[in-house]
Amino acid sequence: MIKDTNGPDFEALLRPEFHWPTKGDQPFTTSDQWQDNSYIDRYGHGRLVMMMTGYKMAADLIVAHVANARNDGDALVFPVIFNYRQFVELSLKYLIATYGHTVGIDAQWNTHDLGVLWTTFVQVLDGYGIEDEEGTDAVVGNIIAEFAKVDPRSFSYRYPVDTKGKLVDLAHEEVDLHRLADVMKGVEGYFSGCDGYLDSLQSAGP
């Protein structure tokens, strides 16, 4: 495999050389080389967009790695599913918060329930008078319902047990991560399309 000499070596990042903690190690520092630093938005809206983008991108990169290192899939399936779910949750919260107030619908920051978030987002679409002539809303709704089923509280793929030490039941024994990534590419396109269309409607005013 030819490596991109202009970008990070993800193989090396996932298989680092053994390193022992050293006195003076500090996890959060900045480099004198500005291009080595990653900017962390501290002011709200931009941070939400970067989080949405980052969780989706992280999952995609992991799946791409698994294509070349299939044995790693059994460990990496957990962050992949969590990251895609987090992308879905943040995307719905972003769309509701950005466009809901125009049609009298409040932001939904106090829930991880994807079913509630999806229902609220559909109300936003209804508020703008958007009709689902091609049935795409229903397709995406079914996908989100599957995520709500396999990980109801954004908990199942972060911890093996619940807060009482009881084993968390999982909905599936095996998952095709590459198919999952392909489905999520479509969901990303849907969210992006909704963002652009709702923005145009909101800008047009009443």
Helix/strand/coil (H/E/C) assignment for every residue in 101-113: HHHCCCCCCCCCC
Say if residue 1's pLDDT is above 50.
no
**Average pLDDT in the 59-63 region?**
98
Around Cβ 156, how many Cβ atoms within 10 Å?
19
Beta carbons of 182 and 84 less than 8 angstroms apart: no
Distance in angstroms (rounded) separating the CA atoms of residues 96 and 105: 8
The confidence score (pLDDT) of residue 45 equals 79
Q: Which amino acid is at 103?
A: V
pLDDT of 167 > 70? The answer is yes
Give the mean model confidence (pLDDT) for residues 170-193: 97
| Range 17-44 average pLDDT | 90
Check whether 104 has a pLDDT greater than 50. Answer: yes
Q: What is the DSSP letter of 23?
A: T
Find all residues with CB under 8 Å of 89, minimum gap 6, and list them: 112, 114, 117, 154
Calpha distance 88→69 (Å, rounded):
26
pLDDT score, position 14 = 63
Give 3-state DSSP helix, strand, coil % of the chain, rounded to 5: 60, 0, 40
Alpha-carbon distance of 158 to 81, in angstroms, equals 10
Q: Give 125 or 43, the one with higher predicted confidence.
A: 125
- 8 has pLDDT over 80: no
Q: What's the pLDDT tens digit per position in 152-165?
A: 989 999 999 999 99
Closest CA to 64 of 170, 193, 185: 185
Amino acid (1-letter code) at residue 198? L
- Cα separation, 94 vs 88, whole angstroms: 10
Per the structure block, which two tokens stand in for 63? 């799946």
Distances (CA, A) of 82 to 86, 127, 159: 6, 31, 11
Q: Averaged over 66-77, what is the pLDDT? A: 95
The percent of residues above 90 in pLDDT, for the chain, comes to 85
**CA neighbor of 88 nearest in space, from 55, 57, 122:** 55
Is the pTM higher than 0.85? The answer reads yes
Whether residue 101 has pLDDT greater than 50: yes
pLDDT at 15 over 80: no
Mean pLDDT of 87-116: 97
81 vs 10, higher pLDDT: 81
Residue 186 neighbours by CB under 8 Å, 6+ apart: none
Q: Whose structure tokens read 């996932």? A: 14
What pLDDT, on the 0 to 100 scale, is given for residue 10? 62
Predicted local confidence at residue 205, as pLDDT: 78
Query: Looking at residue 42, what is its pLDDT?
Result: 85
Between CA 182 and CA 139, with CA 77 as vertex, the angle to 5 degrees is: 35
